[in-house]
């Protein structure tokens, strides 16, 4: 049976009360915290860095899933590992040497992953699959929360599922962008097991009600 994980993106949390927000969302049933790092260079937005990761680390026991939307990638990896990240993913377009970036993440004791934008093909996976612990499929163009799920990415999720199954490796398949109660079951049917949701969770007052409703959809 598939283990489904829900990873609330703190991009839509109240940054003025971030410690409380992450504690509340974990108490509501979150399996991990998704941490969106944007640099106003690789993506047109600027968010949070290792200092904020370090600040929330003592507030939660669950893994912190750092999604790097930065270019270059490599020099920030050790800082996030020191700050308590458990998973670090990056976009292959943002790294000059993808194998090296994956290896650097693993050398720092974190799970490593690649993130694929809606228009980015998956072929990079072929050569580095042995160093990949997580594949993240973007179902929106990265940079902002609250966007609408792009339907053609369902096909990409299914392709990624096939590649992962054929590898025989234990690799998480995460989906990020526009995930809601209404579409989570369809995304799971395409092959995803890990679901990032920002505005769908932090945009509502009762986090537990949303996460519970997502789990009901996943159990159908």
Q: In this chain, which stretch among 65-73, 83-91, 99-107, 209-217 interacts with Zn ion, using CB under 5 A?
A: 65-73
Per DSSP, the chain holds a count of helices (H) and strands (E) of 9, 8
What is the rounded CA–CA span in Å between residue 38 and residue 35? 10
**Residue 3 neighbours by CB under 8 Å, 6+ apart:** 193
Q: Which does 4 bind (CB under 5 to 8 A by kind): ligand DX5, Zn ion, none?
A: none
What is the rounded CA–CA span in Å between residue 125 and residue 103? 14
What is the rounded CA–CA span in Å between residue 122 and residue 69? 18
Q: Which of 65, 176, 193, 212 is catalytic?
A: 176
What is the rounded CA–CA span in Å between residue 196 and residue 193? 10
The residue (of 103 and 149) whose beta carbon lies closer to ligand DX5 is 149
Residues 143-202, interacting with Zn ion (CB under 5 A): 176
The residue (of 149 and 167) whose beta carbon lies closer to ligand DX5 is 149
List the one residue from 36, 39, 133, 193 that touches Zn ion (CB under 5 A): 36
165 belongs to the catalytic site: no
The residue (of 127 and 148) whose beta carbon lies closer to Zn ion is 148
**Residue 5 neighbours by CB under 8 Å, 6+ apart:** 31, 32, 172, 174, 193, 194, 195
Place of tokens 């690799």: 171
The residue (of 1 and 40) whose beta carbon lies closer to Zn ion is 40
Asked if 67 interacts with Zn ion (CB under 5 A), we say: yes
Binding site for ligand DX5 (CB under 6 A): 9, 11-12, 34, 36, 67, 140, 142-147, 176-179, 196-200
Give the phi and the psi of residue 78 in degrees, each rounded to 5. -60, -35
36 belongs to the catalytic site: yes
Q: Which does 113 bind (CB under 5 to 8 A by kind): Zn ion, ligand DX5, none?
A: none
159 within 8 A of 137, measured Cβ to Cβ: no
Q: Which does 199 bind (CB under 5 to 8 A by kind): ligand DX5, Zn ion, none?
A: ligand DX5
CA angle 161, 37, 89 (to 5 degrees): 30
- Binding-site residues for a divalent metal cation, in ranges, read 34, 36, 67, 176
Q: Which residues are catalytic?
A: 36, 176
What residues line the site for Zn ion (CB under 5 A)? 36, 67, 176
- Binding-site residues for substrate, in ranges, read 9, 67, 143-146, 176-178, 198-199
């Amino acid at each position: 049976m598939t283990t489904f994980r829900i990873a609330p993106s703190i991009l839509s949390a109240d940054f003025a009360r971030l410690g409380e927000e992450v504690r509340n969302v974990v108490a509501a049933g979150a399996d991990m915290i998704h941490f969106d790092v944007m640099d106003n260079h690789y993506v047109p937005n600027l968010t949070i860095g290792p200092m904020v990761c370090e600040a929330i680390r003592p507030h939660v026991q669950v893994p912190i899933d750092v999604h790097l939307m930065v270019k270059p990638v490599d020099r920030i990896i050790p800082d996030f590992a020191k700050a308590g990240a458990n998973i670090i993913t990056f976009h292959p377009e943002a790294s000059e040497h993808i194998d090296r970036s994956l290896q650097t993440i693993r050398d720092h004791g974190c799970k490593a992953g690649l993130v694929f934008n809606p228009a980015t093909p998956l072929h990079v996976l072929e050569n580095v699959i042995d160093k990949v612990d997580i594949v993240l499929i973007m179902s929106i163009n990265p940079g902002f929360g609250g966007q609408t799920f792009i339907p053609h990415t369902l096909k990409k999720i299914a392709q990624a599922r096939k590649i992962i199954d054929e590898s025989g490796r234990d690799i998480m398949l995460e989906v990020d962008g526009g995930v809601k109660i209404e579409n989570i079951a369809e995304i799971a049917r395409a092959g995803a097991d890990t679901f990032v949701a920002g505005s769908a969770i932090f945009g509502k007052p009762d986090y537990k009600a949303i996460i519970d409703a997502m789990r009901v959809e996943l159990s159908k």
